[in-house]
Each structure stands twice: as structure tokens, then as C-alpha cells.
Structure 1
Amino acid sequence: MAPDRAVTDRNGDQMQQEVLATVSATGARRVMAITVLVLLGGVLVYIALAQPPQALGWQLIMLGVGCGVLVLAERMRRAEVTVLELTREALREKGGAVLVRMDQIATVNRGVFAFKPSNGFVIITHAPQPLQWNPGLWWRVGRRIGVGGVAPAVQAKYMADVMQAILTEGADSQP
């Protein structure tokens, strides 16, 4: 286990917590995901310029989507160095940015039919959270936070199990 560290949350409060579980993207998965996005974006831009469709609108759409996919690949390349850490207080990024505090979580779902990232799980919160996205690792929309994507399934499953245990423990201790 990782040593205790002091981390500042959004309110400026110090949180000193032991890291119980981590999720990070592996090198091979990162390279594969980024390569696929770069190839897709490159092929779309190439086709739009080398053999453009008859209608100018379709050419602009292909260029726009191709450039958008290339921008997404670059965002994913930068974002994949992020590591998620779970403590008894919160799920946070290694740098200290808090994704969600444990007392804000209603449920953790990693079922087969859950709307979740590949190899991951989804967290349902009590109240809507601000929209945020770290391509390939996590996203947050409304009351849902998805963790997974290019992260190994073993790490995500372990983190979800630990979160569920903390939530169950907290529910048992309340009157």
C-alpha cells in the first residue's frame, strides 16, 4: 500500500488518507487506443482530401470528424498519465483533484448490463456532479461517474469491490 499523503480537496481542506486502491492505464492499452484513434483520424482526413466526396458538405464533415478524432487522440495521450486513487474519504486523481467524496456515492455498479466504460464500473451519486472527462480513464456526467476504458479490468474490479465494501461498512454503522 502507498504511504499516507496530504491532499487538498476542492474546498481547500486537507485530506490525509491511506490509498486503498489505484487504477491507471497500462502501456500496451494506451498505445493501442491512441494508435487506433490516430489511424482513424488520419484515414478520414486523407480520404476527405485525396478522394473527396461529390458534395462539399460531406467533405467538410469528414475533415471535421477526422480532426476531432486526432484532437481526441492527443487529449487521451496527455490524460493517460493520470492515476486514480481510492481512499476512505474520496476517489481522486493522484495530483489531488477529487472526483467524488465517498459520502456523495449512492451505489457502485459493475454489472454486465450497466452503462459503464469497458473493463470498468459506474458510480451513481446522490446529486448531479459537474461535467468532466479524462479520455480513456474516467468521465462524469450528471449523477454518473464512469471509471475504466483502457484501465485493466483487475484494477477496476478491485477498486469497485473496495468502494462497495466501504459503502456497506458505512451503511452498517449508521443507525
Structure 2
Amino acid sequence: MTNDDDAEPSLVLMASAGRRGIGVASIGGLGGILLWFAASQNPEPLWQAAMVAMGVGALWMARRMWRATAASLVLTPRALKSSDGRVLAEMEDIVAVARGAFAFKPSNGFTLTLRKPGPFVWEPGLWWRLGRRVGVGGVTPGTPARFMAELMQERIAKRSGE
């Protein structure tokens, strides 16, 4: 059963098609170049193994980023969720939103500080969670991400009575 408050999303944040393509192509291209060098240059066996491992890792990362950025982030009155149903942060658990130039945050995004830590999650190019921090952004457009961060800051201010 769905709560009526969660039925209507306040805002949806999706990966930009261009940024998504450039990010995946860059990482996939790096993997291809590393594999090509490992096959064509005949380096020392240790270097060749390292290049193959890094090339396969980069191709895996490109695939992972492609899948992760197919999802979107949905801000409801109660939580920030992924379109696949995972909850990034409940609104009542968010203590602060950092989005300044010197904040530790993803590109074109923001960082949330939570009251309690959660499990480690990493969706390359879209969001990550490490302890009490949730980073949102990467291949998302800057203006909608900034609007989402401002909306969350307003909700926190209303909750605390400022």
C-alpha cells in the first residue's frame, strides 16, 4: 500500500543523455585503449597483466555506469528515493545539505548529511552513500540538482522551525 504523501513526487532528477553518453564512452574508451595496448605493445608480463586488469575493470565500470544512470532520483515529501525503489534518505534523517563550491560532492550535485549511517552503496554517475553521507550528482544536469538541494534545504528549515 502506498502512502498518499509518496504518491506525488516533488521533483525527479535524471541523468543528462549527453553527460551519460560522454561519461560511459570515456570510461569504456579507456578500457578499450588499455586492452589494445596490452595486446599490441607486448609489454613485460606484469605490465601486460596490469593493463588487462585495468582495461577489463574500466569496461565493467562503463557497463555499471550505464545501468546506474538509467535510473532517476525521486524526491517525495517523505524521502529521496531511486526510481528502482531504494531509499537514499528519509527527509526526517537529513541534517544538512552541502552544495557549495568547496563542498565534498559529486559534479553538478550535492551532499546530504544524515543522522544515522547507512550501508555503503555506489551507483556511478548518479549517487553514493558512505556512512552518514549521501552524494547526489555526477552526470545529472546542474540546475535541477541545485533546485532539488534548495527544496530539501527549505524542508529542513521548516522542520527545525527556522
TM-score by length of 1: 0.87
Query: Following the alignment from structure 1 to structure 2, what is the Cα–Cα distance between the partners of residues 168 and 17?
Result: 23
Q: Contact conserved, 1:17 with 1:88, CA < 8 A, in 2?
A: no
- Residues 18 and 146 (structure 1), Cα distance of their counterparts in 2 relative to 1, 3 Å cut: same
For residue 97 of structure 1, report the CA deviation from its aligned partner: 1.6
Equivalent residue, structure 2, for 1:30: 20
Once the two structures are superposed, the pairs formed by residues 60-99 of structure 1 within 5 Å of their partners are: 60-99=49-88
Query: Following the alignment from structure 1 to structure 2, what is the Cα–Cα distance between the partners of residues 15 and 133?
Result: 27
Q: What are the superposed Cα offsets for residues 86-108 of structure 1, whole Å, 9 maximum, x if unpaired?
A: 11210001232211101111110
Secondary structure (helix, strand or coil) at the match of 2:161 reads helix
Shift >4 Å, 4+ stretches: none
Secondary structure (helix, strand or coil) at the match of 1:6 reads coil
Once the two structures are superposed, the pairs formed by residues 136-175 of structure 1 within 5 Å of their partners are: 136-172=125-161
**Percent identity, aligned pairs only?**
41
TM-score by length of 2: 0.93
For residue 15 of structure 1, report the CA deviation from its aligned partner: 6.2
Once the two structures are superposed, the pairs formed by residues 108-127 of structure 1 within 5 Å of their partners are: 108-127=97-116
Equivalent residue, structure 2, for 1:51: 41
Q: Contact conserved, 2:6 with 2:77, CA < 8 A, in 1?
A: no
The structure that is helix-richer by fraction is 2
Q: What are the superposed Cα offsets for residues 23-82 of structure 1, whole Å, 9 maximum, x if unpaired?
A: 11011111111111111000011101111323x222211111111010010111111111
Give the length in aligned residue pairs. 162
Equivalent residue, structure 1, for 2:31: 41
For residue 6 of structure 1, report the CA deviation from its aligned partner: 2.8
